[in-house]
Every structure is written in C-alpha cells, then in structure tokens.
Amino acid sequence: MTQVNRRLVLLGGLAAAGGLVTAASVPSWANTRTRIAAPAIHDPFQLGVASGDPLPDSVVLWTRLAPAPLSQDGFGGMPDAAYNVDWEIATDQAFGSVVQKGTVATSRAAGHSVHVEPKGLDPARGYFYRFKTGGFLSPVGRTRTAPAAGAAVNQLKYCLASCQHWEEGWYHAHRGIAADNPDLVLFLGDYMYEKPSTNADVPRVRAMALAAETTSLGHYRARHAQHKTDQYLQAAHAAAPWMVVFDDHEVMNNWNSSTAPATAARKAAAFQAFYENMPIRSTAKPSGSSIQLYRQFGWGKLARFHLMDTRQHRSVQATSAQGCTTMRDPKRTLTGTAQEQWLLKAFETHPATWDFLGQQVFFAQRDGDGKKDTCESPDSWNGYEGSRDRITQGWVDRGVPNPIVLTGDVHRHWAADLRQDYYDHSDPIVGSELVTTSVTSNSVGSAPPSSTWLSHNPHIKYCLGERGYVRVTTTPAQTRADFMRVSSALELEAAKVQITADRSYVVQAGSRGLQRV
C-alpha cells in the first residue's frame, strides 16, 4: 500500500499553518515523497474463490490470499503487510458487463481473507465474480442471488455434503457437485479435521502437511488452507453459492463433551479460522469464543432454509453409560433456549412451500432394542428427546406445511420419516429427514443395519455406508432426493470413478412421508 512519509505530512502542515518552514530551509532529502509498498508476492489465489449466503439483492464473495498455502505458520506465505484487493461482479463470464466493482484491504489480522458483500444486485440472477491484486487475477466464480420474497419459483436444485477428512479420500463428491450445476450447496459440517486420521483400518491416500493436532490460530488457518487446495473442492465452491455450518471437527472431536471440552482460547482460534475461510456474512464474525452461526434464508415462495448450530449451545454432552439416561432429561437442549425460540418463532409464518432445517446430527429416532430407556448415541437428537419433541411439536402446532430435516455427521446416507411420538410407529408422519454421507470420512468396519434393528425402526427407509452427497430438486409439487454414490474415494483418477444415484425418494407437497422413486 502507498503511504506518505509522516514527517513530510508534519512539515507540510507547519508550512501551511504559518510559514514556519520555508522551502529553502527544508533539506533536499525531506522534499522527497517516500512510497512504502507491500512486498511483491507470487500467485496469491491458490485457494480459489467462493460465494455464499445469498439474499435477493446480495451475496458474499470470498477469497484468501495464500501464495504458499501449506505454510505451517498459517500465514499462507503472505508478508506481514496490508494488501488492496480489487473485486468485480458481472453478468457475463467475460466481464464485458460489470455491474459492481470495488477495492478492499486485507492483512494478517484477517488471515489475508476477503469478504465482500455487494448490495443492490438483481434477485434470482446469475453473476460471475473475480478478484485482482499484485497483478494477479483470481479464478472466476459463478454465483446467484436468491429470488425475491414472495416470488414464484419453479425449481430449486441444491446439493448436501458433509465430512471431508483430507487423508481418507479424494474429493470426487465435489467433482460431482460441480458437474450437477446446482443453484446452492449446503455444507453441514466437518469441513476440515483437526488432526490426522487415527483409524488404523482406514487407508490414507494423502497426508496432512501439519502432522500435529490443531490448537492455535495459525494451525487452524493452515489446516483450512490445505483442504482448500483440492481442485474439486475449489470447483464446487466456484460453481454456486454455499450455505455452511460447522460440526465438531472444525474445533476438535466432540468439543463440548463433559470429559474434555475445548478451551475458550481453542474455540476462539477455530471460530476465527472458520470465519476467515468461509463465504459467510460479517454478522457471523466471531467474538472471542462465540460465533453467531444459526440463520435463515428464503428462496422466494418455494423454500426457506433454517441453518442451525447444534454444537455451540447444547447442554454439556455426557459420555458415560449413566449419562445416556440423564440425557433424557426434558430440560436438556441441543440448540440452547435462544435458538430454539428463534426457530419456533419462524415456524409461525409460512412464506414458502418447503421448510428445510439444515443441521448436523441425526434427528430421527434410532432404536437399538425397542425399549424407550435406551439411546443409540449421546451425540444425536436421541439424547435430547425434550429438545427434539419441542421442535417437532412446534412445527406441528404452527402448521408448517412441509418440513424436511437435512443432516450430516454420520458418514452414511440415510432416509427416514419423522413421527410425532418417536416410539409409536403407528403415530402419524409429521416430516422426513435426509442424511448425507461423507465426502471422504470413512466408517470402515461398520456393518449395515440388521433385520432386527430395522424391525425396531420401520421409519428408516434407507441406509448406505459409501461416500457421496445428496442432490435435492425441489418444485412446488415435490422434493426429490437423489442419494449420490461415489464408486471409490480411494481412486485418484477421475475416469475410473463413477458418480451415480444409488437411490431416490420424493416427498409430495401436502403429503407427509418418503416415497421411493
């Protein structure tokens, strides 16, 4: 950046004020305006570009300067200096019709990340965007704004993804997402992993540059950067706007457990790095060890998305066998009181045909032995029955027309119907749940559900323990979910990897329950 020598500013001010200093009395060296420029860098756009959180008149544009992404100090090879970054957004890929442009500054305090929130864009419009600094142009990204509130929308296509351990596979799922040309991508958590894989049964196809577990801001920045160097992930980011929430590995595994909770300092570092590396709005900029992550987005009259945070505000997770019963206390909450009331308040209005709840952990009841006094896992809504019951009853009582829960976390595809009484299988269906498997994170050694288990869970329609994502196509008449399967996340060569729909289900508007296509 260009700065004027402060001594010259003072001297000039004195001369103007009262002629105390004359030109003849100023030394020749003091007449020279000094320009201090930020050090030159090589290609700083190696992490690609992204967009997210679309509104009818705005969308977040993101990049991060990192000429050496794998630098273990987390600085991405950037000097300790401020840099101006030019941005522009156009209606055509050649940028012949630029509709907005500007310049923003970034520095190490922000991890040299860039978040731009242009306003005044047209609703339901596709745009292209790019950045420039130091004589370098970024890749071009494609984005779109949301339709105006109340606008008729014929179709929305979006993809769900979750859980992408760097070492445990290649990101072919993101290659499929980019090829699907979606309107939106919802990423439901575990975007990065805080430490190398510890499962001896899981093959590693590549290594983390930083072998240690992440605990500092520099380490979290470096880990995010390495994940973002993947070409398929960059392609998926550049293809459409994203809506993202975190799960646990963005901080540490089960970071709110009672036995080993994350410290406030570690959460602050993880949240800061998460914000720096995601295309999310400035309203989510963290304050120390707190971040405002739950939020809502509309898509005209067709859909409304409730993005939830089931990690930060939950009651402390018990991990002992005794804790399983304790967690059935109706006072226990997975969302916290404020988020629960925010959601229930939203249910009072019905601006769209479909309500999608994007969140992290398994929502439907999973019953191990048919007895109500057991819980399959403390890290799911099963362990917080009171919280789940209040939200389910909330959408029933408030007449939410077509609720569908969207979930990640469990490294398997699942499709399930939701009942008002989760242990009465004759109770009416009140909604459905679509669970995406992982992009790469493995679940080697986990057998498929047994016939006995399935008999206790007739609301579970489908389960697949392979890698992939879910492609959702929503119209005013129905929502269709294609459970996409990657034939192998361990094979590098794209030509040898097939990405196909393993199974598909639809939910008809006004008629609860999954129907197989």
Q: Rg of the Cα trace of the chain?
A: 25
Domains by residue range for the chain, with CATH:
1-37 (no CATH), 42-145 (2.60.40.380), 146-516 (3.60.21.70)
Q: Name the DSSP class of 28.
A: G
Count Cα neighbours of 454 within 13 Å in the Cβ-side half-sphere: 10
First to last CA, the chain: 59
Under a CB-based contact definition with an 8 Å cutoff, are residues 165 and 194 in contact? no
Output phi, psi for 276, to 5 deg.
Answer: -60, -30
Element (H, E) at 357: strand 354-358
DSSP 8-state secondary structure symbol assigned to residue 205:
S
User: 398: Cβ–Cβ under 8 A, 6 or more apart, which residues?
Assistant: 344, 347, 348
- Classified as helix, coil or strand, 47 is coil
Contacts of 322 (CB under 8 A, 6+ apart): none
- The tokens for 39 are 């050090």
C-alpha span between 508 and 473 (Å, rounded): 12
Show the beta-strand stretches assigned E in 174-318: 184-187, 242-244, 295-299, 303-307
Greatest distance between any 2 Cα atoms in the chain: 98
Each residue's pLDDT, cut to its tens digit, for the chain (517 residues) gives 433 332 222 223 333 333 333 334 444 434 444 445 688 889 999 999 999 999 999 999 999 999 999 999 999 999 999 999 999 999 999 999 999 999 999 999 999 999 999 999 999 999 999 999 999 999 999 999 999 999 999 999 999 999 999 999 999 999 999 999 999 999 999 999 999 988 888 889 999 999 999 999 999 999 999 999 999 999 999 999 999 999 999 999 999 876 788 999 999 999 999 999 999 999 999 999 999 999 999 999 999 999 999 999 998 755 444 445 455 678 889 999 999 999 999 999 999 999 999 999 999 988 775 555 444 466 889 889 899 999 999 999 999 999 999 999 999 999 999 998 877 888 999 999 999 999 999 866 567 788 888 888 999 999 999 999 999 999 999 999 999 999 999 999 999 999 999 999 999 999 999 999 9
Residues 165 and 146: their CA atoms lie apart, in Å, by 31
CB 252 within 8 A of CB 216: no
Mode of pairing for the β-strands spanning 126-133 and 113-116? unpaired
pLDDT at residue 444, as a whole number: 62
Place of tokens 């709110």: 256
357 C-beta neighbours (distance < 10 Å), count:
21
Query: The whole model's pTM is what?
Result: 0.91
Question: Given strand 242-244, what is the order of strands in its sheet?
Answer: 113-116, 58-64, 49-55, 242-244, 184-187, 156-161, 468-474, 478-486, 499-508, 511-516
Question: How many other C-beta atoms lie within 10 A of the C-beta of residue 92?
Answer: 11
| E strands present in 202-337 | 242-244, 295-299, 303-307
Name the DSSP letter for residue 301. Answer: B
Report the C-alpha gap between 229 and 77 in whole angstroms.
14
Task: Give the integer Cα–Cα distance in Å for 176 and 173.
Answer: 5
| Residue 191 · residue 246 · CB < 8 Å | yes
Confidence at residue 370, expressed as pLDDT on a 0 to 100 scale:
55
Q: Please, what sign has the CA dihedral across residues 244, 250, 251, 256? A: positive
Q: Are strands 303-307 and 403-407 parallel, antiparallel or unpaired?
A: unpaired
* pLDDT at residue 377 in the model: 61
**Burial classification of residue 372, based on how many CB atoms lie within 10 Å of its CB (0-12 exposed, 13-18 middle, 19 or more buried):** exposed
Question: What is the dihedral sign for C-alpha 364, 369, 370, 372?
Answer: negative
